Structure 1
Amino acid sequence: MITDIVILAAGQGTRMRSAKPKVLHTIAGKPMVEHVINQAQSIPDSRIHLVVGHGAEQVKAALSDYSVNFVTQSEQLGTGHAVAQALPSLTEGSRVLILYGDVPLTPADVMTAMLSQVTANSMSLLTVELANPQGYGRIVRQSGAITAIVEHKDASDDQRQIREINTGIMAVSQSHLAKWLPTLSSDNAQSEYYLTDIIAMAASEQVAVVGSQPAFEQLVQGVNNRQQQAELERWYQRQLAEQLMAEGATLADPARIDIRGELSTGSDCFIDINTLFEGKVELGNNVTVGANCILKNCTVADGSVIEPNSIIDQSTVAENCTVGPYARLRPGTELAIGAKIGNFVETKKSLIGEGAKVNHLTYIGDAEIGAKVNVGAGTITCNYDGVNKFKTVVGSGAFIGSNTSLVAPVSVGENAVIGAGSTITKDVEDNALSVARGRQLTKSNWKK
């Protein structure tokens, strides 16, 4: 059966105090509405309709890579009005799942379970019990059956004592929505068209409202301000940390790790405090990541050590390498087995050969460094002439003295030696010594 998924994302979110639409604020580095879309996409035979309003063009631009039908709600007149804007786009006879762009963590299995409860005579409603239900719509039951939802502002004192609240997430047939939505009234405390009013309509027509609850209240928690965003972020990060530890990683402090993408770890990895992982990061077995490191879209193979305060971005680190401390591997860097990148070294679009050492205070860009090369402190590959980039090639076993400038395009042969302080502008053959520096001039008893 076709499933139409309607995601409401038209609100301004004034309590966020931001020029950015609320649904574009992030959890784990990804816009909240993108979390919702990612989960919804896993439902077979589904179409996603996103209701936009405030900041619609920003939302559309942010989600341009997704196959989404954008529906405009020009005036924000309530949730019932928002869903009604999508009604003409829905497939006749479909099941309809209604989600919210600022409720980012509802998992796909919860959605699927709700959809399975939709029939010609039943609909599904996701509820949750809160210790403090202030501000939420209350679930009214009679003999255990859900008969209505009363918004907080419209609730009586007795109804406000109810702890079971409406999450807003529901699944219902398109035919019922087509019948009920046009009859909604705005005669209430907020002068809005409440989607929740269809629950009473369902009860009056003997359409069963099947209630279910998530495993954790955070799975249906909406974000209305920065404080709630921060609270949900920390809860979500804790769940990711728990999963890593269950898979065999050791975290120095599970509260001080941030994952903004996908992180996979082999056995016996150790991750120190204040580490940040972005995009897709893969760690092999026995990998150590030191404190205050940032790893983005990279792979670190078995036995490698990333020392504290290092950055690895779109790079590949082979087995038994050492990086850092205070090293930066920029996009396109590849370290072969046993390579070492030391403190205050920056690399970019370069291959560092097996067992090669670039120990400190060095820039290697657009270069191919052979196996067992030793690069001295202060070495620079001069790869950019202001217009074009050029390549430097250093053969296996070469020794590059400290404070050397290699002016690309240039190559240094195997087992060659470059004297410290040289500026190399011409190719150096295998097994040669090359020194290119000004002669030292000393004047005794010189007066300033």
Structure 2
Amino acid sequence: MSRVVPPPPTAPAPIGQSPSAPAGSDEHGGVPGSESRNFFLLVAHQVFFRVGWVFKTESIVMPYFLDVIGGGPVLRSWLMVLNRIGASVPPTLYARRLKLMRQKRWSLMATTIGSGVPFAAMSVLWASGAWREADGGVAWWTKWYFLAMYAWFFVVTGLNQLSIQTVQGKLVRAERRGRLFTTGVLFGCPLAILAVVMLMPRWLALPDGGFAWIFAAPGVAFLLSGLMMLGVRETDDDFTEVHEAGWRRFRRAAWLAFEEPKLRGVAIAAALYSSAFALFPHYATLAREAAGAGFDIQSLVTWTVTQHSAVAVVSLLAGPIADRFGARHAVQMTMLGAALAPITAIVLATTGDAGGGQLFWLVFLPLGFTPVTNKMLLNYTLELVDREHHTLYTSAVGLCLAVPVIGGSLLAGVLIGWLGVVPVFTMGAVVMLLAFAQTLRLAEPRRQSV
């Protein structure tokens, strides 16, 4: 029996599931005998990617850089607007092309390497000194160049995230996807933390802030990450799908998100949870303001280490929970944890310099739940439908994670400038708790009868 309710006459053709297999349990898409090899290479891909990612976090490093070159709360908010546009629009337009690719690893390789190109460009710019005015100040166009490079990065990264989900959905069985994520974090987070501790303090201490090196790090790490796909072995796919205009793909994804019963619940949870992203660029600034004159540049290292240590610990819990009990339970746990970040920030921000400035590293503990929540939401989505439709369903959830942020991030930046951080963070915390409440209503796909 089909798991997907047929769409109305004006909607795209119905998307059904195989009557002989439960959702998310398609036959293994790797070359026979290659499962362990592919698993190892996908872990290596995650490890290198995580090492690169730690140097460009939107909660710490990049907001600090944007402040250095003349940004403010509204300009910082553009980081998440670009982030969510890249995570939603390009993947939705790209989903059909990726579905029709015989081997998805080439897409993952190209988009991973491509994610490092804008950082390489920023590294070259900073190393050349072309960003300086004659008086030694930062040229007015530097922040716009940075945002342009970041827009490029997020477009490619949106395609990359869709490619990751599709490759994992093809090559990794549902009951091992949590293990893949956990293993990648188990090895990747310690290496990322080690890289930060060993390299970032000396880079930040350089007269120019060390940004040439900070930007070069993700460029090199993403290159190595992409090259892991050369060793992956997968069988050719032979899917078909009619061509349709781009606006129809958005309409189709939006219809699926809120009309398809299996997807509606997770779509609502994702849309509510997306408020977390609107707050993301403002945590580091709030921490610096709480510290006041006592702010130490090396605190950036402490916050980065704290956040990525939290990601590792949360992943060690979420991955096994997802594999054993289903991704739904992992989503519930991580979403509740993520909601503690703005609550903790509010408490510490109101304690004054003596308390908030010294203890603000605590905020970055619950922030470690955020990337894990994103992954678990998408893993839950993969379990709802057969592999043939993974690209469309994950892009639909990506839209739900993105659209509220695209409109809300700039509004959050304006409101922070007018009202201050506490009222805005309070509203964000309430919405995130509503998102957690919505996850309690999600169905468990693994218990559904076929």
In terms of fraction of residues, the more strand-rich structure is 1
In terms of fraction of residues, the more helix-rich structure is 2
Is TM-score (shorter-chain normalized) higher than 0.5? Answer: no
Higher relative contact order (CA 8 A, sep 6+): 2
TM-score (norm. length: structure 1): 0.21
- Over alpha carbons, which structure has the higher Rg? 1
TM-score (norm. length: structure 2): 0.21
